[in-house]
Structure 1
């Protein structure tokens, strides 16, 4: 049950986490996957690329190639102006939303029952 909840929560915010990471700096796929996997925001690198594709289709990120110096050319992703605007809108909604959810699902004081 908890894994299902975690998966649904990730689905709801992963696009914005990607935009936030790419707003800080352009990243290549593997680097971005590691950044998101450490805190559990994606399950695997395989789940990242479909999301990147959707973000590109919507014009929220772009991709460019850069030599790695130590191997093949890497595809880097960066946020666009539209992506930054989308992220700003999310930021405005996130704090009030999380406060409301915390109030609704917060722990019950056993002394009141």
Structure 2
């Protein structure tokens, strides 16, 4: 049985917005959601998933400050960068919020230099 787009959207959204879940789960959900969005063919389908952006950004912000999740966080940011290159319209409506979130994280002095560069590339 193949789940519908609406079911997947709900699953991604619920997971991203559940702060009681382990950060690792939210990072994996972010990566899965981004990879799924890559596969969407129509702009209408892609628009349905724009409301995931705040949860994705919150997850990336939380993960960027966690040394335990550095490897997965870098992977998530790289997948996000690919998304912005392939589907730039996905970020269009929330661009100001995305950039603001990234700038807050980049200014954290505890952040590794490699992660800082990735986040600046994403911004």
TM-score, structure 2 normalization: 0.31
Higher strand share: 1
Question: Greater CA radius of gyration, 1 or 2?
Answer: 1
